[in-house]
Chains A and B, each alone.
Chain A
Amino acid sequence: AQSVTQLGSHVSVSEGALVLLRCNYSSSVPPYLFWYVQYPNQGLQLLLKYTTGATLVKGINGFEAEFKKSETSFHLTKPSAHMSDAAEYFCAVHGSSNTGKLIFGQGTTLQVKP
C-alpha cells in the first residue's frame, strides 16, 4: 500500500528566503509523485510531477522537487519565497499505475512573512 507523510503541518519563512517542504512516501511499486498547491477557497493546482527519468523536476512558479529513491523522499523547494506563495501544499503518490488513485499527505501550510 502507498502512503505519504508531510513533515510539518505549518512552515513559516521570510520573503526571499528558501522554501523547503518535506515529503516522504511509501510505495511497493515505483512511485509516481506529485505536488499540488491549494489557495484559500480554491481547488488544487498541480505544481509538478515525477513519473520516470530525471529525478530533479521543475514546476510552475519557480518550484522544483527532487526524487530520492534511497531516502523515499520528494521534497519541494523554491530558492526565494514570494508573498504569493502563501498557500497549502499537498504531496501525493499515485496509488498504482492502473487505478488512477492519488493518495495525499496531510498538507503543509506555508506562511510567508514580509
Chain B
Amino acid sequence: EAGVVQSPRYKIIEKKQPVAFWCNPISGHNTLYWYLQNLGQGPELLIRYENEEAVDDSQLPKDRFSAERLKGVDSTLKIQPAELGDSAVYLCASSLRVGQGAYEQYFGPGTRLTVT
C-alpha cells in the first residue's frame, strides 16, 4: 500500500515569491492534515480536512496561506507571498476517521522549504 505522497521534497525560493505544495493521502483516508514543523520543534497543525471540508483552519495564517482539497482526495497548500520565516518543513498526514476518537495519522516525508 502506498503511503502519503508529497511533492516537491525540497523547494528553494526567494522571498515574496509564491510556492505550492502537493499532497496525496493514503487511498480511502477521509481526513487530511497539513502540519508545519520548524527546525528543532514538533509539528503544529495548520489545517485539517474532513473529506473536502476544512473543519479546523484556526492556525492557518490566512493572509498569505491557502489550501484546498478538491474532490476530497489530494490537497494543495499555497503560500503567497513567502516570507523568510516560512522556511520550515511542511508535513501532510492522513487518517481514516469514523466518528470520534483517536485515529492513527500517517505522515508523508514532508516538503522542506527554504526562503532566501
Chain A residues in the interface with B (C-beta under 8 A): 4, 9, 32, 34, 36, 41-46, 49, 51, 90, 92, 94, 97-102, 104-107
Contact = CB atoms under 8 A, between A and B. Distances in A.
Interface string B42-68: 111100100000001000000000000
A44 B45 contact: no
B21 to A, nearest CB: 13
Interface of B: 3-4, 31, 33, 40-45, 48, 56, 91, 93, 95, 97, 100-110, 112
A30 B40 CA distance: 28
Nearest to A45: B107
A97 B33 CA distance: 16
Contacts of A51: 101-102
Contact of A43 (B4, B40, B42, B103): B4
- Chain B: interface secondary structure? loop
B104 A101 contact: no
Given A43-B93, A45-B107, 8 more contacts: A36-B107, A43-B4, A43-B108, A43-B109, A51-B102, A92-B42, A101-B56, A105-B42
